């Protein structure tokens, strides 16, 4: 075997080794990036779920305080519910910070919008603003639309394909019959 043939053989072995190295390197890099993406998606999902749960807790407290059947003869129960609402608002604020850290711009903006709608319901429940039952119902419907919007942006940020199941706005006649 001549020197030229040996050089060709060594060159082929080196080319094969380089190709194998590059293929392995690219595969490992892709696997690492995919694992990292999955890990952050799990954190994002947890933060979105915690945020929505906290928002809904504040909403339920505000709704219970504002309901027309509320018995004003028991201020201690109302005070306890307001204290629960304040604690839930603290949880919401904490969960919102996680959304701020992990969410994309559209999801964070949707969370800001949802906070604003929630505060429009919280103010009358705390007694800081007088509104009618119809105004409450309108604000609750706007809150629900904004919640649906947040869900949509969160799903997009998580890469979940398809449309989300949207909660419908409750018609006024049905809301009145439930009371």
pTM over 0.85: no
88: number of Cβ within 10 Å: 21
d(CA 1, CA 41): 58
Whether 164 contacts 155, CB under 8 Å: yes
pLDDT per residue as tens, the chain (179 positions): 788 888 888 888 888 888 888 888 888 777 767 766 666 788 999 999 999 999 999 999 999 888 755 556 677 888 888 999 999 999 999 999 999 999 999 999 999 999 999 999 999 988 888 888 899 999 999 999 999 999 999 999 998 887 777 777 655 544 455 44
The two structure tokens encoding residue 178: 């439930």
19/70 Cα distance (integer angstroms): 74
Buried residues in 95-125 as b, exposed as e (16+ CB within 10 A): bbebbeebbeeebbebbebbbebbebbbebb
What are the structural domain ranges in the chain? 38-178
Cα separation, 65 vs 123, whole angstroms? 11
């Amino acid at each position: 075997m001549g020197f030229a043939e040996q050089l060709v053989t060594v060159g082929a072995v080196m080319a094969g080794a380089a190709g194998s190295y590059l293929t392995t390197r690219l595969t490992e890099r892709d696997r690492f990036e995919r694992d990292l993406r999955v890990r952050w998606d799990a954190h994002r999902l947890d933060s979105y779920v915690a945020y929505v749960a906290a928002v809904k807790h504040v909403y339920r407290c505000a709704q219970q305080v504002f309901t027309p059947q509320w018995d004003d003869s028991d201020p201690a129960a109302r005070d306890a519910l307001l204290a629960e609402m304040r604690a839930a608002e603290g949880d919401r604020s904490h969960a919102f910070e996680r959304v701020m850290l992990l969410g994309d711009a559209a999801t964070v903006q949707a969370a800001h919008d949802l906070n604003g709608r929630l505060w429009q319901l919280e103010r009358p429940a705390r007694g800081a603003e007088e509104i009618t039952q119809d105004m409450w119902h309108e604000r609750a419907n706007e809150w629900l639309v904004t919640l649906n919007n947040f869900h949509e942006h969160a799903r997009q940020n998580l890469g979940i394909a398809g449309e989300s199941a949207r909660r419908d706005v409750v018609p006024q006649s049905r809301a009145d019959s439930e009371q």
